[in-house]
Amino acid sequence: MAVADSLSLPHELREAIFAHAGGSAPDEACGLIAGRDGVATRIIRCRNIAEDRPRKYLIDASDLRRALISMDDAGETDAQGTRGEPLGIYHSHVRSRAYPSPTDIADAAQWPHSFYVLVSLSEQPAIGAYRIRDGEVIPVGLR
Amino acid sequence: MSVTVRLPGALRDATGGTTKLEASGRTLAEVIADIERRHPGFRDRVLDERGRLRAYVNVYIGDEDARESGGMNAPVPDGSEVMVIPAMAGGR
Amino acid sequence: MLTADLVRERVRGTILERIGGTPLILLHRIAQGARAELWAKLESANPGGSVKDRPGLWMVIAAEEERRISGASVVLDATSGNTGVALALVCAVRGHRLLLAMPDRVSVERKRIARAFGAELVLTDPLEGTDGAIREARRLAERDRRYVYVDQYSNPANPLAHELTTGPEIWQQTDGHVTHVVAGVGTSGTVVGISKALRKRGVRIVAVQPDDALHGIEGWKHMPSALRPAIWDERVADVHMTESTDEAIAMTRRLAKEEGIFTGPSGGAAVAAALRVAKEEQGRIVVLIAAGSPKCL
């Protein structure tokens, strides 16, 4: 099983994530990144159904389910190489930097095998990628 | 009543690495109990001390959210697919 | 015109004397097998923790010499990064009030550092980013003459600091044997200033930028897509290179493990670019590591 420690995220996908983020402001945008062998090939925009959308995100579970099924059908894999799991999960921070918050770190326990991609609408650098394992944030490269 | 249960990567370690398994039961509660028999400790990962689904765990039976069709008593038709999907969330 | 002697004279006996004179460290392991020697100039050794201490000091002293700062003045700039820390340090010692415009944010660490030095903050609309902070600084400066807007992106004292300190230090520390200098482009003051000092002595100047407008390299600018600093001129460099966030992060890990040097992505990216040069060309290469501490990791 290939273990990817950096994420290949082509410019067009970064732009698409950023556009989703800008268009969702002041709410946080969220979605999935699908691909294989550490190379992202598409993003899946999801609905944020959190109560407090400017400060939190909660991906609609039926969107998530549909996305996971399509990833399985397409043979797409997560960072560990497992089929049918998201390569990455993205969301935006409207008022803070592109770094996982304590809430992000806690909630990441449910999806430990994906890259976490954050974009910031207020800070530079505008994008960051991480693995979050056992409460620890590990910055990873973006190519 | 035999069903296919799909589990997320986060629960892999509770079932010895398996993310897709067969289980039997007529309700969600029975299916979970069946898996627990074969993989002790699984139940605690998805249910709280009172036996209810943990807040951050979603379960789909076919394309229905189990919470909307009876929760733990939700019927699980023969041959259906049960999918456990943890919440995907965060904040700033 | 400011000179290094004049600035040194002004800050004698204070912690500001420690700005500059940063060490040059040979990267033994990382450059093993390369054709050139690779030396890192560790700007994290500055008292404020980054290369920005140099332009921070020079911009304030320049304003003092030009009689722009009086007892009622408030030094002003738009920055939440290392320049803010540098200005806060300098203004604390020089006894000036300082106002920093920065986008509103949750992380309190930078606010805390600035306030610890006595700086005041004006928090701007986060949706407008750094541009919003710059606009606010300009607005304040136009409306109220007490504000002395030092504007690191346009202030000639920024590249001058590098022309008269960083560049000459590199020359002296290598006994004139430096063949290439590699530096990242943020405000571009470092590259512009070092080029002025050393290009005429036959040193090749290598400027490095991120490879994508949406990048994870703190402090650097992807010039084709960013707001262009007034002081920048592409022609000051002989070679323009780009680095990905991936190479930057990978190199920060190597620097810590193999050389005991802590830095963030900008240091990693600069060294990654410098290593590529070291593999192709012979000579003595100096790469600038702008900032860094164990907290980076």
Distance of CA B65 to the CA centre of its chain: 11
Residue C187: which of C98, C297, C69, C87 has the closest Cα?
A: C87
**CATH top-level class of C4-50+163-296:** alpha beta
Average pLDDT in chain C: 92
CB C216 within 8 A of CB C184: no
Residues of C in contact with A11 (CB under 8 A): 212-214
User: Looking at the domain A11-142, which fold is it?
Assistant: Cytidine Deaminase; domain 2 (3.40.140)
- Domain made up of C53-149: CATH architecture: 3-Layer(aba) Sandwich (3.40)
What number of other Cβ atoms are within 10 A of residue C45's Cβ? 19
For chain B, the first-to-last Cα distance in angstroms comes to 44
- Tell me the domain boundaries of chain C: 4-50+163-296, 53-149
**3-state SS class at C18:** helix
CB C37 within 8 A of CB C26: yes
CB A81 within 8 A of CB B58: no
Model's pTM, two decimal places? 0.86
Query: Are residues A125 and C249, on separate chains, in Cβ contact within 8 Å?
Result: no
User: Residue A110 is nearest to which of B60, B88, B91, comparing CB atoms?
Assistant: B88
Q: Which residue has the tokens 């004049």?
A: C6
- Cα(C130)–Cα(C128) distance, rounded to whole angstroms? 7
β partners of residue C180: C204, C285
Question: Catalytic site residue C52?
Answer: yes
Q: Which of C41, C50, C52, C195 is catalytic?
A: C52
- Tell me the domain boundaries of chain B: 2-86
Residue C59: which of C148, C184, C170 has the closest Cα?
A: C148
Neighbours of chain A (3+ CB pairs under 8 A): B, C
- Domain made up of B2-86: CATH architecture: Roll (3.10)
- φ, ψ (nearest 5 deg) of residue A67: -65, -45
Handedness of CA B16, B17, B22, B25 (dihedral sign): positive
The continuous run of DSSP H or E covering C148 comes out as: strand C147-149
**How far is C297 from chain A, CA to nearest CA, in Å?**
8
- φ, ψ (nearest 5 deg) of residue C253: -70, -40
- Cα(B64)–Cα(B41) distance, rounded to whole angstroms? 26
Q: Which residue has the tokens 């306030």?
A: C115
- DSSP, res C80: S
Residue C187: which of C167, C172, C207 has the closest Cα?
A: C207
- Cα(C164)–Cα(C168) distance, rounded to whole angstroms? 6
| Residue pLDDT tens, chain C, 297 long | 899 999 999 999 999 999 999 999 999 999 999 999 999 999 999 999 999 999 999 999 999 999 999 989 999 999 878 899 999 999 999 999 999 998 776 456 777 877 888 899 998 887 777 778 889 999 999 999 999 999 999 999 999 999 999 999 999 999 999 999 999 998 899 999 999 999 999 999 999 999 988 888 888 888 888 778 899 999 999 999 999 999 999 999 999 999 999 998 999 999 999 999 999 999 999 999 999 876 655
- Cα(C184)–Cα(C210) distance, rounded to whole angstroms? 9
Residue A90: which of A45, A56, A125 has the closest Cα?
A: A45
| Residue pLDDT tens, chain A, 143 long | 345 689 999 999 999 999 999 999 999 999 999 999 999 999 999 999 999 999 999 999 999 999 999 999 999 999 999 999 999 999 999 988 899 999 999 999 999 999 999 999 888 889 999 999 999 999 999 99
- Cα(B7)–Cα(B5) distance, rounded to whole angstroms? 6
Query: Are residues A58 and B63, on separate chains, in Cβ contact within 8 Å?
Result: no
